[in-house]
Amino acid sequence: MLYTIREYAETDKAPIANIVKEVWGEKSLAKFNLLAPWFHHRSMSAFNGSRDLVLEGRGKVVGYVRIIPCEYLLAGERISAGYFTDFVTSPDSRGSGVKLARHLVSIPDVLWVGTPIARVGRFWPKIIKRDVKIKPIERAVLLLSPSVFIKAKGIPSVVAAPVDVLWQFLLRRKLKKINQKKAPVPIVLSEQSTLPASDEIDEFFNVFSQDFYAIAVRDYAFLNWRFSEAPNDYRYIWARSEGRLVGYTIYREGSVGGRKTLLIVETMAIGEKTNCYGAMLNLVCQYGLENGFADVQTLTSGCSRFHKALKQLGAVLKVEDVNLIASLHSDDPRATEMFDEKKWFVSMAEADHEFVMFK
């Protein structure tokens, strides 16, 4: 079959929805429809129009990939980038997605980043003719109420309840111990819902990004779109030292497996990182304990100090069955260098991680 690729048009909305429903089901379609206007707004503000791609065969839409524009710092240089998400093709056009993928990665001087499901992820190296795997996605789970999991196995509440009491007593002791580790300069936390000023965010990010080979640019415009304008309600923690922004944590209430879960969508810290992460995690855990949440979940991000703070609190780490992958079609040496063991920052706010992995 002869396929053609073009940019998305409003008339494609219904046929794409039909493919999503057929391939992923009603629930996924509802989430797709909820997020579509928000994603589209990002494309409009960055590109003045959608850059999503549509695959046509025999005069009808048979495939689609969403493009979320962003910028990356790669080896210290700022480059155009895009997250590719919602990669879907009609069941009666199997194999056609390869053409769509090849077209995407052939666009020069744009870094494409995504975390496709394992089945889809396996064909990307074949398309690009080289390795695309950057790092496995690692989830961290910090228990707040183990009784939720115990009762799910059919164990009576009379047995499970004392486990909660003991566990939460020990967790509070750990939190208190971490909180008592004073930084050379006191860290002050605030929870206002408004973002800091643009220049304050830029100054903070410029310092934080120096620890990573590759990281998506965080500026006021991106954070405002990603969190303030998003269809979810987020809670914010801002950490300051001597009036200077030294860290932030953005989290929300969610559910995993039907249980109440707190999701840390993104967190960063500079300076006394361990103290800063510890103080912010303390606040998240206290909120969870006071409001009956079963656990806190996040991604380990690639920041070693955040990883350390999670381990100190007893978080369980689990490697997911998906990998961060990236492609840069360019003569630039970085197009091959970036696949070495480099430090990539990954948060739940990247691409559609938050919405695919969590509710």
What is the reported pLDDT for 61? 93
Backbone angles phi, psi at 170, to 5 degrees: -65, -40
Cα 283 from Cα 340, distance rounded (Å): 36
Q: What is the pLDDT along the chain (359 residues), one digit of tens a residue?
A: 688 998 888 899 999 999 999 998 998 899 899 888 888 878 776 655 567 889 998 889 999 988 888 899 988 889 888 888 888 889 888 777 778 877 877 777 788 888 766 666 666 776 666 667 677 888 999 999 888 777 766 677 777 778 888 888 888 888 887 766 666 778 899 999 999 999 999 999 999 999 998 899 999 999 999 999 999 999 999 999 999 999 999 999 998 888 899 999 999 999 989 889 999 999 999 999 999 999 999 988 888 899 988 988 889 998 887 778 887 877 666 666 666 556 889 898 888 888 877 76
What is the reported pLDDT for 7? 87
Nearest to 176 by CA among 324, 278, 273: 278
- Which amino acid belongs to residue 71? E
Cα 298 from Cα 136, distance rounded (Å): 14
Sign of CA dihedral 218, 111, 4, 115: negative
What is the reported pLDDT for 333? 67
All domains of the chain in start order, with CATH: 3-114 (3.40.630.30), 139-321 (3.40.630.30)
Q: Contact, 275 vs 183, CB < 8 A? A: yes
Q: Contact, 183 vs 276, CB < 8 A? A: yes
The torsion of the CA quartet 120, 122, 124, 125, rounded to 10 degrees, works out to 180
What DSSP character marks residue 226? I
Beta-strand runs (E) in the chain: 3-7, 53-57, 60-74, 77-89, 111-114, 133-143, 188-190, 214-216, 235-241, 244-256, 259-269, 295-299, 316-328
What is the reported pLDDT for 289? 92
What is the reported pLDDT for 156? 72
Contacts of 159 (CB under 8 A, 6+ apart): 150
172, burial (CB in 10 Å: exposed 0-12, middle 13-18, buried 19+): middle
What is the reported pLDDT for 45? 65
- Tell me which residue has tokens 């009784």: 147
What is the reported pLDDT for 183? 63
What is the reported pLDDT for 50? 62
Cα 257 from Cα 53, distance rounded (Å): 33
Cα 106 from Cα 128, distance rounded (Å): 9
pTM of the predicted structure, to 2 decimals? 0.90
Cα 71 from Cα 221, distance rounded (Å): 12
Interhelix angle for 157-179 vs 273-290, to 10°? Answer: 150
Residue 70: strand pairing partners? 81
What is the reported pLDDT for 326? 81
Beta-strand runs (E) in 165-219: 188-190, 214-216
Contacts of 165 (CB under 8 A, 6+ apart): none
Interval 199-246: pLDDT, tens: 999 999 999 999 998 899 999 999 999 999 999 999 999 999 999 999
Interval 186-202: pLDDT, tens: 889 999 999 999 999 99
Cα 110 from Cα 48, distance rounded (Å): 17
Q: Contact, 139 vs 298, CB < 8 A? A: yes
